[in-house]
Amino acid sequence: MKKIRIILADDHQLFREGLQVLLQQINKLKVVASVKDGDELVVAVNKYKPDVVLSDISMPGKTGIEVCSLITQQFPDVKFIMLSMYNNEAFFVNSIKAGAKGFLSKEISRDELLKAVQMVYEGGEYFDRKMSHEILKEYAQQLSRPKPEGPDNNILSPREKEIICLVAESFSNGEIAEKLRISVRTVNAHKNNIMRKLHLKSNVDIVKYALVNKMIKL
């Protein structure tokens, strides 16, 4: 069985070493490098070409976000998951803009970390539910006048609206497929149509759209 190859990047040695020990206990994962700053991370990614990078945001030298932006342009197949101690909206948004496919709290459980790595490796996105909920709640509260359901919603099919709601409730593509009794490929096709019609770029944009248009409640 092919193992998911991972690079760890964090300037706190104790946290980094602890995370490495944890990941090495999971049979399907392999840590190929562990580095302490952004500059070392750039070198390690170029050398090892990992499947997934687990990177702290604030590090000496280049930040995790800066490295993510640089590497995802050079090596689109390398998937970044950003790690943070803080529910910081700017960190969250800038990570997504830089190309990160995941955003996790450092307090995440072992099982959720494994789920995040697996989902991102398979081409999906994963955002810590508690952290992203708090950030999106703050975002929603900043909207003084929520946008009413308008013309954009009228171009969506009932199935597309249903999928938007499920994405916004943090269901994965596989879970949506099972719930709606359709294939994962069909779910992906619907999501691509939704993003094209609404000019969205990621799952985070879909969640924000659902919030603004009152398709879900916090």
Q: Do 4-137 and 146-212 have matching folds?
A: no
Count of CB atoms situated within 10 Å of the CB of 188: 15
Of 93-102, 145-154, 163-172, the one with minimum mean pLDDT is 145-154
- pTM beyond cutoff 0.75: no
Domain ranges of the chain: 4-137, 146-212
What is the per-residue pLDDT across 4-19, written as a single tens digit (0 to 9) for each? 999 999 999 999 999 9
**Confidence band for 151, pLDDT divided at 50, 70 and 90:** very low
pLDDT tens digits, 46-61: 999 999 999 999 888 8
pLDDT one-digit tens code per residue, 168-177: 877 888 889 9
* DSSP reduced 3-state for 17: helix
Helices (H), the chain: 13-24, 38-48, 64-74, 89-98, 110-121, 129-141, 151-154, 158-168, 173-180, 184-198, 203-212
Which fold is adopted by the domain 146-212? Arc Repressor Mutant, subunit A (1.10.10)
Domain 4-137 maps to which CATH number in 3.40.1260.10, 3.40.50.300, 3.40.50.2300, 3.40.50.10470? 3.40.50.2300
Convert the pLDDT of each residue in 105-135 to its tens digit.
888 888 989 999 999 999 988 887 666 666 6
